[in-house]
Amino acid sequence: MLRDQRERTRALERERGDIIPYVFHRNGKPTGDLNGAWRAARKRAGLDEALFHDLRRTAVRNLERAGVPRSVAMKLTGHKTESVYRRYAIADRKALEEGVEKLARLHGGGQEGRTVVPMKEAAREG
């Protein structure tokens, strides 16, 4: 698809004798404003403070939860180093709860009725 688009763009450049700096365009003009589209989407979703970049963190979290191998997840998200990828792979409360449940299953115990309290909170309480 990208090669076809590049060839269409080159043909239009030759026809006009002009350089078109866009991958996707309408007769050489930009197709739209990503920021404007993002603002409209946020407004429709009721997410006033969401950043476009938040989608990348969500993708990493979902890949981690799905058990996708890290090397595959990094290629999908475009992370070149594991250290940067780990900045996005934040263990949220749900991930911590799932980890405790898996450990309990491994050792044959159930977690019914128990609550996971992160260590920082436990230290403050007790």
| Low pLDDT (below 70) residues in the chain | 109-126
pLDDT of res. 115: 65
DSSP-based three-state secondary structure for 71: helix
Distance CA 126, CA 86 (A): 31
Express each pLDDT in 70-99 by its tens digit.
Answer: 999 999 999 999 999 988 888 778 888 888
Rg (CA), the chain: 23
Domain parsing of the chain, residue ranges: 48-90, 93-125
Environment class of 73 (CB within 10 Å of its CB; exposed 0-12, middle 13-18, buried 19+): buried
